[in-house]
Structure 1
């Protein structure tokens, strides 16, 4: 069989995609997926044993979602900016509908109703609403800036209020925090008055204080962070032990012991598994990959936005990268006891089907919006 290669003059869909997509950005994302598989193979058997399942239960389930996720990344990354907007709009409307249904029909897990069962599959709508909201919001902001008669800012306010309100009802303050930070950055990138950014930041602080005062589970997490003796800190103590035991080089693949004691070692605390088995080296590599994705995507978006005078691309990629990077930051900071624990997956590394597919949608749109476009023709070789 001949090797499959793509010349710069290849005008096929795949050929144009290969020569216009940011291959360095794509490589970093694929590396995160590979690291996630390795860490899940380390943490999955122990997690499966706690529910009396087959040792490879979580590994197999993750592999079920991996091919569709890769397919979504590829297909969505082929789209033009117009196509990205259309896909995001459909995904946003669908995710909002599922967010409305979840509290009514979804099962209560740890006091929250965040899942909807469709055809035997459990779906977490919030994982899909985040990337879709980032693009739809960017669309409205950019249209409002280009056309003063278009109520882009007001539309964005309504969409944000709807999304945040539905997330709070579940309740899911972690995702609300990510959505709020993402929207705040887009607000700033859209060039809206700085005083409004300050007002929004102040309102966020008021909301955080209100959540602490009114919601016992939020208060408990903050109190345990500030004063570990005030409540159960079992998981964070074990996570910190994992980092200490791993040291610089780690104990070796499969040699970790703390994962057998951490209930959420395959999801919220998978960074601790990385620290114990592979040491500081892998942890720094993971941090570096996430930082590279955020910086690379934003630099590409800003370059393209200036070349094409396309504000939508810059705001859209800005929102998608903030979501991607902040989700990783919250997961790692929680594991390192740098902030109150919050159940949030590490992008492409933690176990979770909805998380992987939602992130695939977001990354696909990120790759589509950062592709090179020559002469106004999407996907033209350069």
Structure 2
């Protein structure tokens, strides 16, 4: 193929599926997500040797190589899903939610127990965490039900949405996984509020959520232990967060340099929940702020694009997905900085983990599909720039 034909491969007149996708997807969001995936791979090479040593794995780059595979898989999922139509997104979400819920029901009987929780299904050397895939599917279904309920056709959309949320939250608490429960509760509440329900209902839901979260302190010993360690660090073992804090402080402004981290060797779960501290030690405060800024761009631009959509379902679903991503990133960074009690929550696209990486590819793929430029998708008076943004 000549250079001339390559240059016009994605001309505006190109009506192929790939050409239409290229001119309708938000390429700024796509670019930022690509940078996050690349940084995740880079940081996996920084964390893998120390993690392999702590876990007695022979190959020092065992986790880095696997993360590269997961990154490729997540990229394929993200791009493939972002090309889907809205109806297909809804159908896919229904199927994913159903399968994830069925697997979550089976976890107490066939799941793998680790650190006092049964959240994974092991097969062929891999661990699958179904709740990761359930989250974006739940947001889509909840937004769908809220939209159907607003049409006034007799569909009890709000009741069905609450039922879907309650089923998912109940199964998460059985595992137990309070962090993921909080995550889907915040996302559900955001969808509830953006669907235009009365403020009194939103306040009632918020009160119920606070009461439910508070009750876990008295009903679940591991939750009480983590909260007590956070509130009274001088009276409890805070080895995990202390080592992470030391690694972050050691990085100072520009870090020790790639592969030069020392404190990371003493950080438990450094390649998963505490990989932020690894990046902070080796690349410094500047890198840490850049990483946070990238997530902020994804969330803020995503919410901006979502709010410009005219279809109620697309608007609520897209916004809910971006809230989901932003909330998960916030929890992970806040735990690393010891701003909230410790919680096993991965940093999207950065932490090691196949389920997390693939599920995030699915989540952002759905969000990009919903915010693609379509006839009538945005309010009147808006145009599309050559970069895929709005004028």
TM-score higher than 0.5 here?
yes
The alignment status of 1:220 with 2:220, answered yes or no, reads: no
Match runs of 1:299-310 below 5 Å: 299-305=304-310, 310=311
Match runs of 1:236-247 below 5 Å: 236-247=241-252
Match runs of 1:134-283 below 5 Å: 134-283=139-288
The alignment status of 1:324 with 2:325, answered yes or no, reads: yes
- Give the structure 2 partner of residue 335 of structure 1: 336
- Hey, what's the Cα distance between the residues in 2 that align with 1:165 and 1:189? 24
> Offset of 1:304 from its aligned partner?
2.2
> Offset of 1:178 from its aligned partner?
0.2
- Hey, what's the Cα distance between the residues in 1 that align with 2:24 and 2:39? 26
The alignment status of 1:79 with 2:84, answered yes or no, reads: yes
> Offset of 1:230 from its aligned partner?
2.3
- Hey, what's the Cα distance between the residues in 2 that align with 1:109 and 1:96? 20
> Offset of 1:220 from its aligned partner?
0.7
Task: Say if 2:26 and 2:368, in contact at 8 Å, map to a contact too.
Answer: yes
- Give the structure 2 partner of residue 128 of structure 1: 133
* Number of corresponding residues: 375
CA displacement 1:192-218 (0-9 Å, x = unmatched): 111111111111111122100121110
Q: Which moved more, 1:331-340 or 1:234-243?
A: 234-243
- Hey, what's the Cα distance between the residues in 2 that align with 1:259 and 1:108? 26
> Offset of 1:66 from its aligned partner?
2.0
- Hey, what's the Cα distance between the residues in 2 that align with 1:59 and 1:89? 33
Task: Say if 1:347 and 1:359, in contact at 8 Å, map to a contact too.
Answer: yes
Partner SS, residue 108 of structure 1:
strand
The alignment status of 1:11 with 2:15, answered yes or no, reads: yes
- Hey, what's the Cα distance between the residues in 2 that align with 1:311 and 1:46? 48
Partner SS, residue 115 of structure 1:
strand
> Offset of 1:121 from its aligned partner?
2.7
Distance 1:282 1:69, change over 3 A: same
Task: Say if 1:98 and 1:125, in contact at 8 Å, map to a contact too.
Answer: yes
| TM-score, normalisation: structure 1 | 0.95
Match runs of 1:18-97 below 5 Å: 18-53=22-57, 54-97=59-102
Moved over 4 A (4+): none
- Hey, what's the Cα distance between the residues in 2 that align with 1:358 and 1:102? 18
- Hey, what's the Cα distance between the residues in 1 that align with 2:286 and 2:337? 16
> Offset of 1:147 from its aligned partner?
2.5
Q: Which moved more, 1:115-124 or 1:195-204?
A: 115-124
- Hey, what's the Cα distance between the residues in 2 that align with 1:43 and 1:109? 21
> Offset of 1:374 from its aligned partner?
2.7
Task: Say if 1:101 and 1:116, in contact at 8 Å, map to a contact too.
Answer: no
- Hey, what's the Cα distance between the residues in 1 that align with 2:355 and 2:265? 25
- Hey, what's the Cα distance between the residues in 1 that align with 2:276 and 2:72? 24
> Offset of 1:148 from its aligned partner?
4.8
- Hey, what's the Cα distance between the residues in 2 that align with 1:141 and 1:192? 9
- Give the structure 2 partner of residue 369 of structure 1: 370
